[in-house]
């Protein structure tokens, strides 16, 4: 059913759904989004990723590469509900786009390949959604492919993601013969015609009825084990859970995260989209179903409910520069904003005017007069807002928690090819880091080079290409370098350090005794105090901790950050006149630096889990190449006639791997990576 209702007539928050499309690269996220827009009547021609004609992959780089790089927001209407969608990237290099999107979403559709099941990046984004508490439904896509199996995909969801899969559909036909689904909630069949179009609803085919009844019974048993209302009906005479109770319970289990409703289809063939939209409306939350957003003001915690009449508060999650001006994409959590209103950015203390409000349709924009709580829109006017900034009314200040920005792992040296363009390059890089907080620009103090750091080789490649595409200068790029770390090789106990400094006036005195030991998980830093009898006052203990953190920025081995250690302040002493916070902070910094030299440190390099999919006749060459790159194979499987190899490989060895893999497999091999932490680097010399 296509909806003709205009978005502006939808004022009820209960009729709004803010959701993202999450998945591993090439699972079909963008195609699902495209078919949703087509099915809802928002667009009238289906675009294709391989043709570069989709709505959400509108950037030239996305169309050239055939992948989603930038999160794109779109809006549509279905069954009287406004659906705000964000199509997120699936490639690991662009996880910051996913992180910022998840921060402002109420729900999500997780898309899985019916052949591959749960893949590494789909598992990664699922965990991110867990951390943000975002309810999800699952859509098993590509059931028309050879080797597609709904049950195998569901089992991988159960085994790797650990929610209870609540399968509400049974496929009609398999692979090329996949034509529709049986709705196990309403016990009806939905069949799509070959040429596309609206599903034809009818009774369950006689040949599938026994299997449909068995699966409906299994669904009832699962929800009865998870929800008391379903259990009460299940145990009553008759032993059946009614359709109405089942729908209510499925929604509640989705909102709590105890279960995930699983649907299936083929987005490319436009089969399964209408029931997917029905499930979005039925099971995913509205802004009224999520907890009030929490913020702070002057140290006090405040909560803002999703109330259009409340004080205005919004979070900026994306900033883009367009030909018509700077767009700040915001999620409105509370209140109402109108064109011409004044907003305040508590992080910068600046007050700015909103010149325009735009409903976003990927690369196109529709002006609107106002935005209310629950809306996702773009505003023109604010110049200081960055991704993660709060915009609020000056009369009711509030600072919302920004999304967590991941640390960059790969760096390249960049410089303008012409010396006269150095200033233009600096401006272009500043614009890049404004739009993408996961990019970091710094000057190397030893070489004087400008260093651009990001989440991966492709991330940096896209960033450099964007400089030129946006009218910036031509850029010369050095070989990528990875972010190394240092870790403690062995512990040291009772390391004493005395800081004494006399200048004729007030002196400095601090004495500390430190125990240093490696952490088992080789990441992070822990500090604790074991001082007794008040020999080091508490305020000086905090200064020692601050000094130790200062010392961790440069390790003794190569000046890399130090991680994976616990420091205990075991003892110390003070001077009645010369002890101070400054003296103890200095003692903590210099004392730990010397202690690290006694401990000895080892160099750590970032490693990634690599999943390589290749034809079976190319496995030998690919395994040899992984071994040459210091890779450690951790698993192998056969899926749909292809071999899937999993290995842990140092990130530094993966530069240029895409080209090498294509050469070894005649263009038939693909791979994905997922950072997994750090491991000891080989010693040289």
pLDDT at 200 over 80: yes
Question: Percent of the chain having pLDDT more than 90?
Answer: 41
Residue 604's nearest CA partner among 682, 671, 529 is 682
pLDDT at 447 over 50: yes
Give the three-state DSSP class for 419: helix
Please indicate whether residue 674 or residue 230 has the higher confidence score (pLDDT).
Answer: 230
What CA–CA distance (Å, rounded) separates 465 from 504?
58
Please indicate whether residue 210 or residue 503 has the higher confidence score (pLDDT).
Answer: 210
Which alpha helices (H) appear in 41-119, and where do they start and end? 60-65, 95-104
Crossing angle for the helix pair 209-226 and 228-235, to the nearest 10 degrees: 130
pLDDT at 302 over 80: yes
Question: Is there a contact between 496 and 569 (Cβ–Cβ < 8 Å)?
Answer: no
- Tokens 């009238």, residue? 44
The model carries a pTM of 0.73
What CA–CA distance (Å, rounded) separates 338 from 382?
14
Give the pLDDT score at 61: 60
pLDDT at 205 over 90: yes
Quickly state the pLDDT bin for 495 (edges 50, 70, 90). very high
The alpha carbon dihedral of 154, 156, 159, 163 has a sign of negative
Provide the terminal-to-terminal Cα distance of the chain, rounded to the nearest Å: 70
The DSSP 8-state label assigned to residue 549 in this structure reads H
Residue-wise pLDDT tens digits, 595-649: 999 998 889 988 988 888 888 888 898 999 999 999 999 998 887 667 889 999 9
Give the pLDDT score at 89: 76
Quickly state the pLDDT bin for 654 (edges 50, 70, 90). confident
The DSSP line for 351-368 is EEE--EEEEEETTEEEEE
The DSSP line for 634-675 is EEEEEETTEEEEEEEEEGGGGTTHHHHHHHHTTT--EEEEEE
Rounded mean pLDDT of the chain?
86
List the structure tokens of 260.
């995930």
Question: Is there a contact between 184 and 216 (Cβ–Cβ < 8 Å)?
Answer: yes
Residue-wise pLDDT tens digits, 49-95: 554 555 554 555 655 656 556 677 888 899 889 999 887 876 666 77
Residue-wise pLDDT tens digits, 455-477: 877 888 888 888 888 888 888 88
What CA–CA distance (Å, rounded) separates 592 from 594?
5
What CA–CA distance (Å, rounded) separates 645 from 650?
16
Give the three-state DSSP class for 267: coil
pLDDT at 422 over 80: yes
pLDDT at 183 over 90: yes
Cα-to-chain-centroid distance, residue 648: 21
The DSSP line for 127-181 is HHHHHHT--EEEEEE-TTSTT--HHHHHHHHHHHH-SEEEE-EEEES-GGG--EE
pLDDT at 287 over 50: yes
The DSSP line for 473-502 is --EEEPPPEE--EEEESS-EEEEEEEEEE-
Residue-wise pLDDT tens digits, 225-263: 999 999 998 888 888 899 999 999 999 999 999 999 999
Residue 445's nearest CA partner among 583, 520, 553, 588 is 553
Give the pLDDT score at 501: 85
Give the pLDDT score at 542: 93
List the structure tokens of 48.
């294709």
The strand pair at 390-392 and 313-322 is best described as: antiparallel
Region of residue 367 (left: phi > 0; alpha: psi -120 to 50; beta: else):
beta
What CA–CA distance (Å, rounded) separates 271 from 250?
22
State residue 375 phi and psi, 5-degree precision.
Answer: -80, 150
pLDDT at 129 over 60: yes
- Tokens 């370098």, residue? 481
Question: Is there a contact between 669 and 612 (Cβ–Cβ < 8 Å)?
Answer: yes
Question: Is there a contact between 630 and 649 (Cβ–Cβ < 8 Å)?
Answer: yes
Question: Is there a contact between 609 and 120 (Cβ–Cβ < 8 Å)?
Answer: yes
pLDDT at 41 over 90: no
Quickly state the pLDDT bin for 135 (edges 50, 70, 90). very high
Sequence-distant (6+) residues with CB within 8 A of 501 are: 507, 508, 509, 583
Residue-wise pLDDT tens digits, 308-357: 999 999 999 988 877 667 888 999 999 999 999 999 999 888 999 999 99
């Amino acid at each position: 059913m296509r909806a003709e209702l205009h978005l502006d007539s939808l004022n009820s928050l209960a009729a709004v759904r803010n959701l993202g499309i999450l998945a591993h690269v090439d699972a079909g996220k963008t195609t699902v989004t495209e078919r949703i827009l087509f099915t809802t009547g928002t667009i009238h021609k289906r675009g294709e990723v391989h043709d570069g004609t989709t709505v959400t992959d509108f950037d030239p780089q996305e169309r050239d590469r055939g992948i989603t790089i930038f999160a794109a927001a779109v809006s549509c209407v279905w069954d009287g509900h406004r659906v705000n969608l964000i199509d997120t990237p699936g490639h690991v290099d662009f996880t910051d786009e996913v992180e910022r999107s998840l921060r402002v979403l109420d729900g999500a559709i997780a898309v899985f390949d019916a052949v591959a099941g749960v893949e590494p990046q789909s598992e990664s984004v699922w965990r991110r959604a867990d951390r943000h508490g975002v309810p999800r439904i699952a859509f098993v896509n590509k059931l028309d492919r050879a080797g597609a199996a709904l049950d195998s995909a569901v089992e991988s969801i159960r085994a790797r993601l650990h929610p209870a899969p609540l399968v509400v559909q049974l496929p009609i036909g398999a692979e090329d013969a996949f034509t529709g689904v049986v709705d196990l909630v309403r016990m009806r069949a939905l069949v799509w015609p070959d040429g596309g179009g609206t599903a034809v609803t009818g009774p369950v085919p006689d040949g599938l009825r026994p299997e449909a009844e068995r699966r409906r019974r299994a669904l009832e048993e699962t929800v009865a084990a998870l929800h008391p209302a379903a259990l009460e009906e299940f145990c009553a005479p008759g032993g059946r859970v009614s359709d109405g109770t089942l729908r209510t319970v499925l929604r509640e289990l989705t909102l709590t995260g105890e279960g995930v409703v699983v649907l299936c289809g083929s987005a490319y063939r436009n089969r399964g989209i209408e029931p997917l939209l029905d499930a979005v409306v039925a099971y995913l939350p509205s802004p009224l179903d999520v907890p009030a957003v929490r913020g702070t003001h002057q140290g006090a915690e405040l909560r803002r409910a999703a109330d259009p009449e409340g004080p205005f508060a919004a979070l900026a999650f994306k900033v883009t520069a367009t030909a018509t001006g700077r767009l700040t994409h915001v999620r409105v959590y509370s209140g109402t904003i109108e064109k011409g209103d004044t907003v305040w950015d508590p992080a910068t203390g600046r007050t700015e005017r909103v010149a325009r409000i735009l409903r976003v349709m990927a690369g196109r924009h529709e002006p609107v007069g106002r935005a209310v709580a629950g809306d996702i829109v773009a505003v023109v006017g604010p110049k200081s807002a960055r991704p993660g900034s709060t915009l609020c009314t000056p009369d009711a200040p509030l600072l919302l928690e920004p999304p967590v920005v991941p640390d960059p792992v790969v760096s390249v040296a960049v410089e303008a090819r012409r010396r006269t363009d150095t200033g233009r390059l600096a401006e272009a890089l500043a614009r890049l880091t404004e739009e993408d907080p996961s990019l970091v620009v710094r000057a190397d103090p030893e070489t004087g080079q400008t260093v651009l750091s990001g989440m991966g080789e492709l991330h940096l490649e896209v960033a450099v290409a964007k400089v030129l595409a946006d009218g910036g200068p031509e850029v010369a790029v050095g070989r990528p370098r990875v972010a190394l770390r240092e870790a403690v090789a062995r512990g040291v106990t009772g390391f004493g350090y005395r800081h004494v400094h006399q200048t004729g006036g007030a002196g400095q005195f601090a004495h500390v005794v430190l125990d240093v030991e490696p952490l088992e998980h080789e990441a992070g830093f822990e500090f604790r105090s074991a001082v007794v009898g008040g020999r080091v006052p508490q305020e000086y203990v905090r200064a020692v901790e601050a000094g130790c953190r200062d010392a961790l920025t440069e390790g003794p081995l190569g000046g890399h950050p130090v991680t994976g250690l616990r420091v205990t302040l075991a003892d110390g002493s003070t001077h009645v006149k010369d002890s101070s916070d400054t003296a103890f902070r200095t003692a903590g910094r210099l004392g730990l630096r010397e202690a690290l030299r006694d401990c000895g440190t080892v160099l750590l390099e970032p490693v990634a889990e690599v999943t390589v999919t290749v034809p079976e006749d190319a496995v030998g060459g690919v395994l040899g190449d992984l071994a040459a790159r210091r890779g450690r194979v951790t698993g192998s499987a056969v899926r749909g006639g292809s071999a899937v190899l999993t290995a842990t490989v140092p990130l530094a060895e993966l530069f240029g791997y895409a080209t090498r893999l294509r050469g070894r497999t005649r263009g038939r091999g693909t791979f994905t990576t997922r950072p997994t932490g750090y491991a000891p680097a080989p010693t040289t010399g």
